[in-house]
Structure 1
Amino acid sequence: MLAERVEQLTGQIDELNQRLTRVVVRHARTAAARVGEHRSGQRRHAPDHHGRQPDRLNTEASLAALCGVSPIEYSSGRRSTRRLNHGGDRQANAVLHRIVFTRLRHDLRTQACYERRTQEGKTQRKIIRCLKRYAAHEVFNLV
């Protein structure tokens, strides 16, 4: 009976993976974000190392914090600025990193944003921070 149950659950898992793949592919075709099918599904259902459930993320800001791309104010005493949140899920951050660098190679809109911010005098680090936040916004709307 146990082997039959395992076989039944395996079939259900396969069916649900196929459904999830179809849904993600359908949405990914219309979205500007280039996210792998298994990664976006994985991020949706797997808890991070703090035990937070990504499917309970109600806002874009909470997803950004989970991915470690939310800006944090810090001050050196003389000046106040922002830096990336170094907390969060490293795998989710790695996905956003891949999205940003893939877009920098292939997406004209991202390249134009990078050039514009470079001319404004922003450093590459700050530009990447902003682009990761934009990617988190689009992934939140996608998933």
Structure 2
Amino acid sequence: MLIIVGDDPERIRSEAAFAKLWSARPIPASSGTTTRHRLNRGGNRQANAGLHRVVIVRLPCHPPTLAYMQRRLAESRTKRERSSAV
């Protein structure tokens, strides 16, 4: 992960830019009174896969990660939104 950031460190100016690089920043997809977000398909896919592995490994043994996932699942409204809550 550090190699990917090291390739071009100037473009990482904020947490949002860092999340966008990893394809972890959701894109607003709202219409009318419905507020939704969809997954960002841009960014570095290898970095996103690495981030996914980190979350999957941390989930069973890291209480803050588990609490975050449970809170996000409780906030979700549809099954599709639940799948992108991690």
- How many residues align? The count is 81
Whichever residue aligns with residue 126 of structure 1, its letter is S
- TM-score, length basis structure 2: 0.75
Q: Does 1:64 align with 2:19?
A: yes
Cα distance between partner residues in 2 of 1:85 and 1:79 = 19
Q: Does 1:125 align with 2:83?
A: yes
Q: Structure 1 residue runs of 4+, over 3 Å off? A: 75-78
Alignment of 1:1-143 (within 5 A): 40-46=1-7, 53=8, 55-56=9-10, 57-75=12-30, 79-118=34-73, 120-122=74-76, 123-128=81-86
SS in 1 for 2:36: strand
Structure with bigger helix share is 1
Q: Percent identity?
A: 36
Residue 77 of structure 1 deviates from its aligned partner by 5.8
| Structure 1 residues 59 and 115: CA distance shift in structure 2, 3 A | same
Superposition RMSD in Å: 2.0
Cα distance between partner residues in 2 of 1:80 and 1:121 = 13
Cα distance between partner residues in 2 of 1:45 and 1:116 = 33
